[in-house]
């Protein structure tokens, strides 16, 4: 399940407030500044810094 580009455009990293982008697999949002990936579960982005994973 994907999320709309409109939603991605208004989301920001909760840690640094920079814009996030959809990753290539479409299952996470990437913050380039913090090098973190926020998982998308059931079409809902989980924008919690403590649940973010390091960008590999």
- Give 1-56 pLDDT, tens digit per residue: 678 999 999 999 999 999 999 999 999 999 999 999 999 999 999 999 999 999 98
**Range 5-54: architecture per CATH:** Single Sheet (2.20)
Q: What is the residue extent of each domain of the chain?
A: 5-54
The whole-angstrom separation of Cα 34 and Cα 5 is 21
How far, in Å, CA of 13 to CA of 11, rounded?
7
Give the pLDDT of residue 13.
Answer: 98
């Amino acid at each position: 399940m994907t999320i709309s580009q409109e939603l991605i455009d208004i989301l920001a990293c909760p840690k640094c407030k920079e814009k996030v982008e959809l990753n290539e697999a479409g299952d996470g949002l990437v913050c380039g500044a913090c090098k973190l990936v926020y998982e998308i579960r059931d079409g809902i982005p989980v924008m919690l810094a403590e649940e973010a994973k390091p960008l590999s």
